[in-house]
């Protein structure tokens, strides 16, 4: 299809709750259109902890059930928990009500297929095409089942992935006031973490504090805690727990690139020699993989684009610098809790010193600048932006410049990467000033 999506962005439909694209009316229409497109009869629905989730949940499941499909309502559960439940129940698809890393005033809806994976651009476009009025002529009404056990089932599954003796004494989990708050305690209970010095923070939620000064968007909360409590490491999640970032004992951040470096070497021992990364990943990662005999493939930003290229290329691992990691042997979508357990397995099996990873990775200096858009992103003159970028790209020897509009926020993102920090800082400032007028 050549048409552009109007509602869906890089991670579902998202907006400030109760306005714009994210009203109960839109949620109801999306639920009906989803069933019209998939013809599914069993759908799993979950959400994060936002105040607006129950409002949108009622509308969404009304749309789904009005088309004759049954709903298994999981309640507060990570996005990958819905993915797991879809496959465990042999359901026809899933829906997640969450705005991921965004503040509490936002919310969103994303759909999963019967394979537990996010839908393709074409599938989302097909749903948009069915958003008109389509009365249910059959009169069939689907049932809604409360299924809170799905959260526990998912957490126990994640716990089963952790190898014996791989849990580390002195570990913290930052739940971001979000969906992982109900899963992490079950995970701890069913692993060796239950007998070790394990801490859980930002696990209380009131519908308004999701991602507020905690989780992956505010790593100071975790890094400061790890240092203050003399812990070994910590894991921070985002609101729907499909992302994870790590703090070492010194409070330094182990991001998705470093996790991919570790997991790539670990999965190579299991036969995987290809890793998919996005255009945002640091160039140092490619250099490391080249030395290890691991092929690096790049794709656009978005974990579903990562998964698409993984499928096309046969790669068993892919992910983003932001902490979305997919290891296809273990999960069908980005999964922060799963990634945390696999990372622990990897450093245990590889006998890695987790405290030296940041130093040894040797990251190229990189600066990401976000400019706020004052107009819809569709109206940004990207041809003119690209022309300016090309002008400066020639000046970045051994480096690169990448500029794009965000698919989830009204931002123009400017990434500059080069061997010299001075070059990065100078060009970031110049480009920010020149591109401001296009925002």
H or E element that contains 222: helix 220-228
CATH numeric code, 256-361: 3.40.120.10
pLDDT for position 208:
98
What is the C-alpha to C-alpha distance for residues 404 and 192, in angstroms, rounded to an integer? 43
Residue 336 has pLDDT above 70, yes or no: yes
pLDDT tens-digit map of 385-426: 999 999 898 878 778 898 989 877 899 999 999 888 998 999
CA neighbor of 409 nearest in space, from 438, 379, 373? 373
> Which residues are identified as catalytic?
100
CATH numeric code, 153-253: 3.40.120.10
H or E element that contains 310: helix 303-313
Mean local confidence (pLDDT), 362-367 = 90
Asked: is 8-147 a CATH 3.40.120.10 domain? The reply is yes
CB 275 within 8 Å of CB 359: no
pLDDT for position 302:
85
Residue 5 has pLDDT above 70, yes or no: yes
Mean local confidence (pLDDT), 175-179 = 98
**In the CATH scheme, what is the homologous superfamily, with its name and number, of domain 366-438?**
Alpha-D-phosphohexomutase, C-terminal domain (3.30.310.50)
Residue 280 has pLDDT above 90, yes or no: no
Instruction: Indicate the average pLDDT of the chain.
Output: 94
pLDDT for position 137:
60
pLDDT tens-digit map of 193-208: 999 999 999 999 999 9
Residue 138 has pLDDT above 70, yes or no: no
**pTM (2 d.p.):** 0.89
Residue 229 has pLDDT above 50, yes or no: yes
Every domain range in the chain assigned CATH 3.40.120.10: 8-147, 153-253, 256-361
pLDDT for position 134:
64
7 contact partners, CB below 8 Å, separation of at least 6: 13, 21, 26, 30, 124, 128, 131
Every domain range in the chain assigned CATH 3.30.310.50: 366-438
């Amino acid at each position: 299809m050549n048409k552009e999506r109007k509602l869906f962005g890089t991670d579902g439909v998202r907006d400030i709750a109760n306005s714009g694209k994210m009203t109960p009316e839109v949620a109801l229409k999306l639920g009906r259109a989803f069933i019209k497109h998939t013809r599914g009869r069993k759908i799993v629905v979950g959400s994060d902890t936002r105040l607006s989730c129950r409002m949108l949940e009622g509308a969404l499941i009304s749309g789904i059930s009005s088309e004759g499909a049954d709903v298994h309502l999981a309640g507060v559960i990570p996005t990958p928990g819905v993915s797991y439940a879809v496959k465990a129940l042999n359901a026809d698809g899933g829906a997640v009500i969450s705005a991921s890393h965004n503040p509490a005033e936002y919310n969103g809806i994303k759909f999963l297929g019967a394979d537990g994976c996010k839908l393709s651009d074409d599938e989302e476009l097909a749903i948009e095409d069915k958003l008109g009025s389509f009365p249910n002529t059959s009169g069939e009404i689907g049932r809604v089942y409360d299924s809170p056990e799905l959260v526990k089932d998912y957490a126990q599954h994640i716990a089963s992935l952790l190898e014996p003796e791989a849990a580390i004494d002195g570990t913290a989990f930052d739940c971001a006031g979000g969906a992982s708050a109900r899963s992490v305690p079950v995970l701890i209970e069913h692993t060796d973490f239950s007998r070790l010095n394990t801490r859980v923070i930002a696990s209380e939620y009131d519908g308004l504090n999701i991602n507020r000064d905690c989780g992956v968007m505010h790593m100071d909360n975790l890094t400061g805690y790890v240092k203050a409590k003399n812990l070994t490491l910590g894991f921070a999640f985002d609101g729907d727990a499909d992302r994870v970032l790590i703090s070492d004992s010194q409070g330094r951040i182990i991001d998705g690139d470093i996790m991919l470096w570790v997991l790539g070497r670990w999965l190579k021992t299991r036969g995987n020699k290809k890793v998919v990364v996005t255009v945002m990943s640091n160039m140092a990662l490619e250099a490391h993989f080249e030395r290890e005999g691991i092929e690096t493939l790049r794709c656009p930003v978005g974990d579903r684009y990562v998964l698409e290229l993984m499928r096309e290329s046969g790669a068993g691992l892919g992910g983003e610098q932001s902490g979305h990691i997919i290891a296809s042997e273990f999960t069908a979508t980005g999964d922060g809790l799963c990634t945390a357990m696999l990372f622990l397995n990897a450093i245990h099996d590889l006998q890695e010193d987790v405290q030296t990873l940041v130093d040894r990775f040797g990251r190229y200096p990189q600066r990401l600048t976000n400019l706020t858009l004052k107009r819809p992103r569709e109206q940004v003159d990207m041809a003119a932006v690209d022309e300016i970028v090309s002008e400066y790209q020639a000046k970045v020897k051994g480096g690169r410049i990448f500029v794009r509009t965000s698919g989830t926020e009204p931002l123009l993102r400017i990434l500059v990467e080069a061997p010299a920090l001075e070059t990065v800082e100078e060009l970031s400032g110049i480009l920010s000033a020149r591109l401001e007028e296009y925002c």
